[in-house]
Structure 1
Amino acid sequence: MKAGIAFLVLAYVLSQFYRAFLAVMAPVLASDIGATPQSLATASGVWFAVFAAMQIPVGIALDRIGPRLTASVLLLVGGAGGAALFATAADVRDVQIAMGLIGLGCSPVLMATYYIFARVYSAAIFATLAGVTIGIGSMGNLAAATPMAWAVEAVGWRETVWGLALVTGLVALALFLLIKDPAKPEGDQKGSLMDLLRIPALWLIFPLMFVGYAPSAGVRGLWVGPYVGDVFDLTVAEIGTVSLIMGVAMVVGSFAYGPLDRFFGTRKWVILIGNLLGAFACLAIWAVPESSILTATVLVAALGLFGASFPALVAHGRSFFPPHLVGRGVTLMNLFGIGGVGVMQFTSAPFFTALSGTMALPAAYGALFGVFGLAVLIGCAIYLFSEDRLD
């Protein structure tokens, strides 16, 4: 079981990498295949949309056939196959299709890990385990920053992505060989997604789940590169450094959120205060989008740090799930989390295009961050009425 979990976490490292590497490759993709920030925002949105759409079938598969086949087959076909298509892309449309396939491949890995945690370990430490997984997985976020920039400059972006396709295929094979499916819950309990949707407490968590992860994931996955590049005229390596700093902050935040609920004796208020601080970071960029590169770096790092409540929110929702619906429950939470990122990525591209046609680029980027921040504030206002629960 430990070896299987280790490779699931490695697969999640790849998942985090794939959702973030477009930001660093934006300049070379622009010169080689004519990609624009807007078209890459669409490609990023396709990744998140496919990933989100897969959560319901993935949840059913986890409950019925287990994590072993669910994770290994999808990662091999979608992840490795999509990366291979990306490496041969002739235009932006190929990149967008490839990102959809990669989203398909990455869709089960984190939820398969959470499923095993929920079935094997106690509920009291679920948030900590979930946070550690996100924290380690976020190393992929870091690798998609400066190391990715170095690799692209050293060997080329196509060769780099071919290497990623090979690594992804090998990890998928390891999942098939090493994962052991947990024992099924005792009894013959039946249930469906509708049983989860009938739990009133979840409906006060879903809105923040939908908007809370979108700013940090969306900005780190795409907008941080164009923002600091256009406003402060940075090189690819310098963009990679800013992305790396934001990625490190997201790792720290993921590790921190997990144990804080037990330290303070509350899960709700840890999540609420953290998301409010993340929203204020977005609003601060809106207020001063071009003050200095140092200020911009500090604020996007703060967004990454405080916007890392994803595992804590999943744990909050997990506390309301019946045992026989854990697979569908965690994937339902992930559907809202990743779906929110996908929706905001799709809408952010035309929104930014409209803004940049009527105002200076710094102001347009600032307004984009401002919308992210306002969305999180709305989610926090609803979450304020949620039931606090630790078990």
Structure 2
Amino acid sequence: MRVSIAFLVAGYVLSQFYRACLAVLAPVLGVEIGATPGDLAVSLGLWYISFAAMQIPVGIALDRIGPRLTVGVLLGVGGAGGAVVFALAGGPLAVHLGMVLIGVGCAPVLMGAYYIFARSFSPAVFGTAAGAVMGAGSLGNLAGAAPLAWMIETVGWRETLWALAVVTALVAAAILRFTQDPERIERSDANRGSFWGLLRIPGLWVILPLTLVNYSVVAGLRGLWVGPFLAEVHGADTILIGRVALAMGVAMVAGNFIYGPTDRLLGSHKRAVIGGNLILAVVLAVLWAAPGAGILQITLLMAGVGLFGASYPAVMAHGRTFFPNHSVGRGVSLLNMFSIGGVAILQFASRPVYEHAIAMGNASDAFATLFMFFLVPLLIGLGFYVFSRDGAAHFR
């Protein structure tokens, strides 16, 4: 299991890197191929759309053929192939296509690890294990910050993407070689769980609104908008953007490791999720009220977004308690589809929000509007989530 998880985590490091790299690449892509922040918002949105669209077939494949082939084949073909397309890009359209392929390739990686955990560990331990993988995988966020900025300055952005294509292909090959599938649960077709059947589970619907929006905040800001925000409001260059993004990435790593033990300490997934997301809402409110604050304050606030916005594993662990073992692949993929689909929706919607706001005023006001745009759905999701079943029995 350790070897199986190790290479899946390596794949997840790449997944986190690819969704975070556009924030640092934004300035050079604007100069060299004319890709605007709005174009890159679409590219990132397409990454999340393709990622989310793959969750249904990924969930079925995990339950039927296991994580080894599901993850290894898709990561090799989609992830490495998409990086090659991106490296060859001459304009925004090729970036869009490359990110779509990368999204397809990255779609099964985390769910492959979660499938193994769900089949091997109790629900009480699932959150800690899931958070540990998220935390380790979030090293990709760190690599997509200051180290990426250094690579771009040193060897160029195209060469960097060619190197990533090679690394992605090697990781996919290692998954195919070393990952071991859990023993399958044989069930008749009549009893095989379906996505629609899972959606009929009582109580799941009050969790789904927060699942839809909670990861959208940190993914949207870290994945793209932190770069244009720092450049346009604070006059930051690529190196400074990389440093702030690095601080945000470190905070995300810490948050992923903290949420798992916290929900076990509190004896409740629900209390940990509500507390962390309420603090995240306060941080977003401060960014909305003072987008022009000093760079130190902005760095701390962005780190706060990363730290308290890392509740995804705890939300997934809470949702996991609703699913029977024979449908756990579909179950975690269903939750992931809502989570990543929410990121895609808000990412696409953020472009017209930003463009309308910048046309009506200055950059500082435009980004204040953008922070409010992320805050409101978060509060709505929390409003539903407070009525969810606690699931504290799984800790006893």
Would the TM-score normalized by the shorter structure come out above 0.5? Answer: yes
Partner SS for 2:203: helix
Alignment of 1:187-336 (within 5 A): 187-188=187-188, 189-336=191-338
Shift, 1:206, TM fit? 0.4
Match of residue 389 from structure 1: 391
Shift, 1:123, TM fit? 2.0
- In the alignment, the residues of structure 1 paired with residue 42 and residue 52 of structure 2 have an alpha-carbon distance, to the nearest angstrom, of 15
- Any stretches of 5+ residues in structure 1 without a counterpart? none
- In the alignment, the residues of structure 2 paired with residue 35 and residue 386 of structure 1 have an alpha-carbon distance, to the nearest angstrom, of 42
Match of residue 12 from structure 2: 12
Shift, 1:264, TM fit? 1.2
Match of residue 350 from structure 1: 352
RMSD value over aligned CA atoms?
0.9
- In the alignment, the residues of structure 2 paired with residue 187 and residue 148 of structure 1 have an alpha-carbon distance, to the nearest angstrom, of 47
Q: CA offsets, 1:42-72, max 9 Å, x none?
A: 0000000100010011000101111111000
- In the alignment, the residues of structure 2 paired with residue 41 and residue 253 of structure 1 have an alpha-carbon distance, to the nearest angstrom, of 25
Does the 8 Å CA contact 1:281/1:373 hold for their aligned counterparts?
A: no
Q: CA offsets, 1:88-107, max 9 Å, x none?
A: 11111000100000000000
More displaced stretch, 280-289 vs 154-163: 280-289
2:164 is the counterpart of 1:164 = yes
- TM-score (normalised: structure 1): 0.99
Shift, 1:271, TM fit? 0.2
Which amino acid in structure 2 is aligned with residue 257 of structure 1? Answer: Y
- In the alignment, the residues of structure 2 paired with residue 369 and residue 46 of structure 1 have an alpha-carbon distance, to the nearest angstrom, of 21
Match of residue 155 from structure 2: 155
- TM-score (normalised: structure 2): 0.97
2:146 is the counterpart of 1:107 = no
- Any stretches of 5+ residues in structure 2 without a counterpart? none
Q: CA offsets, 1:129-165, max 9 Å, x none?
A: 0000000000000000000000000000000000000
Shift, 1:186, TM fit? 5.5
Match of residue 68 from structure 1: 68
Match of residue 47 from structure 1: 47
Post-superposition, which runs of at least 4 consecutive aligned residues in structure 1 deviate over 3 A?
Answer: 186-189
2:88 is the counterpart of 1:88 = yes
Pick the aligned partner of 1:372 from 371, 374, 380.
Answer: 374
- In the alignment, the residues of structure 1 paired with residue 332 and residue 207 of structure 2 have an alpha-carbon distance, to the nearest angstrom, of 13
- In the alignment, the residues of structure 1 paired with residue 302 and residue 71 of structure 2 have an alpha-carbon distance, to the nearest angstrom, of 32
Q: CA offsets, 1:228-271, max 9 Å, x none?
A: 11111011000000000011111110000011111111210110
Task: Indicate the percent of aligned positions where both proteins have the same amino acid.
Answer: 55
Count of equivalent residues: 391
Which amino acid in structure 2 is aligned with residue 211 of structure 1? Answer: V
Does the 8 Å CA contact 2:350/2:373 hold for their aligned counterparts?
A: no
